[in-house]
Amino acid sequence: MSFGDPNNPYGPPPPQQPPAAPPGAPGYGYPQAPPTVPPQGYGYPQQPGYPGYPAGNMMPQTMPGLMMTARVLLFIVAGVQVLMGIGFIFGAATINDVSNSGEDTFGNNSLSDIGHASAGIFFVIALIVLGLAGLSITLGVKFTRGGQGIRITTMVYGILGALLGFLALINAADVGSSASLVFALLWVGFGGVMAAAMIAPSGAAWFNRPRY
C-alpha cells in the first residue's frame, strides 16, 4: 500500500478544513461595521434642540438690553404722564371753582367765561395726556408678545416724543428756564432711545422671532 492512498488506514490523517465562521460573524481582519441604533420613534423621549437646528425645539430667547431699556423708559414716561394728567385735572377743577366764585360775587362776566373756557381746555389736555399714558403702558406690556405693529408704533411714538422734546428744548433755551431745559433734554433722550431700540437690528429680530 502506498501512504499516498487516501483509503490507507495506516497512512497520515487527511488535513482538516478550518471550521466555517457562523453566519453574520465578522471574520478576522475585516473592518467592523458600527452597530445600528434604532431611530427614535413614537414612545421615545425627544431631546431638546438648540437654536439654528430645524429638528429641535427652539429655546426661549432673551430680550435685548436696548429693548429692556426702551421698555423701562416707556413705563417711566407713563408715570410722568399720569402725574401730569392728574395735575391738569386738578388745575381745571381749581379754575372752575374760582370762576364759579367770581360769578357768585360779581355776576356773570367775561372773566368767568374765560375761566370756564380755560378749565375746559385743561380738562381736555388732561384726557389727552392720560390717553398717552395708557398708550405708553400698553406698548411696554406688549414688548413680550407683540409683533411688527408694536415695533412701528413705538418707533413713531419715540420719534414724535423726541421731536416735541426738541421743540421744548428750543423754547426753554429762549426763556432761560433751567428746569424746563432739563425736562426737555430728558424727553429728547427718552424718545431717541425708544426710536433707536426699534430701528436697531436686535429690535427687528426680537419682534420677528417665532412664537410658540
Q: Give residue 20's pLDDT.
A: 54
- Residue 31 banded pLDDT, cuts 50, 70, 90: low
Is the separation of the CB atoms in 199 and 57 below 8 Å?
no
Q: What is the pLDDT of residues 125-150, one digit of tens each?
A: 999 999 999 999 999 999 988 888 99
Does 93 score more than 70 pLDDT? Answer: yes
Does 204 score more than 60 pLDDT? Answer: yes
Query: For the whole model, what pTM was predicted?
Result: 0.66
Sign, Cα dihedral of 155, 159, 161, 165: positive
Would you kindly state where each structural domain of the chain is located, as residue ranges?
65-207
- Return the percentage of the chain with pLDDT > 90, whole number: 36
